[in-house]
Amino acid sequence: MGGNTFGTLFKVTTWGESHGRALGAVIDGCPAGLPLDEEDLKVELVLRRPGRRYTTPRKEGDEPQILSGVFRGKTTGMPISVIVWNKDVVSDYYELIKETPRPGHADLAYIKKYGYEHWDYRGGGRASGRETVSRVIAGAIAKKLLSCLGVLVTGNVVNLGGEEFPSAKDPQEGLKARLSPFRVVNGDEGAEEILRNALKNKDSVGGIVEVVAWNAPSGLGEPVFDKLKADLAKALMSIPAAVGFEVGYGFKLASMRGSEARDKIVTEVGEPVLEGEKAGGMLGGISVGGNIRVRVAFKPTSSIMIPEKTVNIKTLEESDIRVPGRHDPAIVLRAVSVAEAMTAITLVDHAMRSGLLNPVRIEWNESCERLWRLYREYLPTSLS
C-alpha cells in the first residue's frame, strides 16, 4: 500500500484531496541552511494556480503555510511540512453524478480498487489535478537547491491541440515562457485561438510540455534500474493526465538510421561533451553534463459538456453523462509548473545520491541567490 511518497534521499510525500479541507506536502531530506519562506513557494504556485484566463474558474489563492522544518528563515534539516487550505470548494455538482463514474477519469479505477462506499467522488478526490499543488511546493524547494549547482529548470508548451510551438533555445526563452498565459515561448495569439475554439465547441484539447534542466552536471543517475531517465519517466508519468514521455528526440529516433541518431562527442573548454541533444543529455541513463531535455504529453480534459456513455454503479444501467462543474479547457497549461517541479525533485534526489549536493547542510552564497532571483523576476504581474 502507499504510493504517496517519491524519492530516495530527497523524499516528497503529498496528501489531501480536491474537495478536502486542505492539501500539503512533507519534504524529508532537505539539507539545513537553505533560506526558505512562503514567498519562495508562492513564486511557483502562482503559475499553476486556477482562476485565470482559460483555466478552471475555481478561485484558490493557494497560500502556503510552512509548519515545520524552518527556523530563523532557514531550513533545519528536519522534515518540512507545508499546508494549503482549500477555499473555494463546491461539491454540489458531484452529488448529482456520484453514481455514474466519469469516462476518462480515475473514478472507475478507484471504485474497483477501494470500493464505492470508500471512494471520495468530490472532484476526483485524491486523483484530482488539485493534488499537484503539493508537488509544486516541493518543486520550489528543489529548484532553490538546484540553484547552488548552477542548474535552472524551465518548461513550456510545445504542442497545443495538435499545433506545434517552439522549443526554448536558451534559458532566457525558457524563463520568458513563464510570462505567457499559455506557457509558450512565442505564439500567444495562436494558442488563444485554439483554446477559444475548444471552449466554443464545449470541448477541450491536450498538449505536450517540454522541460529543460539547463547546465545539469554529469553523473546523475544510477545503473541499472535507477537510471535518471527512468526516474524522470516515473516522476513525469505520475502527473495526472500524463500519457506519454520522451527523452531528447524520443520517438523520432525510432524512424532514424543509426548514423543520424547519435550525438557527436566533441571537445569544449578542455572537456568531452555532446554536440546536440538527441539523447536528451544522458547516455546509459546517466547525465553527461549540459542540458537535459524531456517531454511529457497530456491528454485533453475529460470533463466536458459533450455527452459520453457510462454505467450507473448501483443499477448497472447504461446512460449518457455530461460532466458539470469547473474545469480546464487544456490541462497542459497548468501542467507545465508540475512537470518542472517533478523534474527538479528528481534531479535533486539524484544530485544527493551522486554526492554532488550535500544532503546534510548547504552553503548558500551569492551565486545561488542570483540564479534563484531569476525565477522570481520572471513572474506574471497579472493573472487575468
CATH of the domain at 137: 3.60.150.10
In a domain, 184, yes or no: yes
> Which is nearest to 105 in space by CA: 128, 122, 132?
128
Average confidence (pLDDT) per 10 residues, the chain, 384 residues: 91 94 97 97 86 64 94 98 88 85 93 94 88 97 98 98 97 95 94 93 94 98 97 98 97 96 94 95 97 97 88 94 76 95 98 98 96 89 48
Number of Cβ within 10 Å of residue 94's Cβ equals 20
Q: What is the CA radius of gyration of the chain?
A: 21
Q: Is the peptide bond before 133 cis (omega within 30 degrees of 0)?
A: no
| Residue 331 to residue 186: CA distance in whole angstroms | 19
* Residue 192: inside a domain: yes
Whole-number pLDDT of residue 325: 60
d(CA 109, CA 162): 28
At 326 the pLDDT is: 58
Task: Provide the residue range defining the domain that includes 71.
Answer: 5-377
CA count, 13 A, side-chain hemisphere, 20: 18
Within a domain: residue 359?
yes
What pLDDT is attached to residue 51?
Answer: 52
Which pLDDT score, from 0 to 100, does residue 123 have? 81
Distance between CA atoms of 200 and 4, rounded to whole angstroms? 37
What is the pLDDT, as a whole number, of residue 52?
59
One-letter amino acid at 102 equals R
Q: Is residue 384 part of a domain?
A: no
Domain count, the chain: 1
pTM for this entry: 0.95
Q: What is the pLDDT of residue 328?
A: 77
Asked if residue 382 is part of any domain, the answer here is: no
What local confidence, expressed as pLDDT, does residue 384 receive? 36
Q: What are the residues whose beta carbons fall under 8 Å from the beta carbon of 262, sequence distance 6 or more?
A: 278
Which pLDDT belongs to residue 57?
A: 63
Domain membership flag for residue 383? no
Q: Which regions of 305-355 does DSSP assign to beta strands (E)?
A: 308-311, 318-321
- Separation of alpha carbons 231 and 239, rounded Å: 13
**17 and 4 in contact (C-beta within 8 Å)?**
no
The per-residue pLDDT for 109 is 95
pLDDT at 383: 43
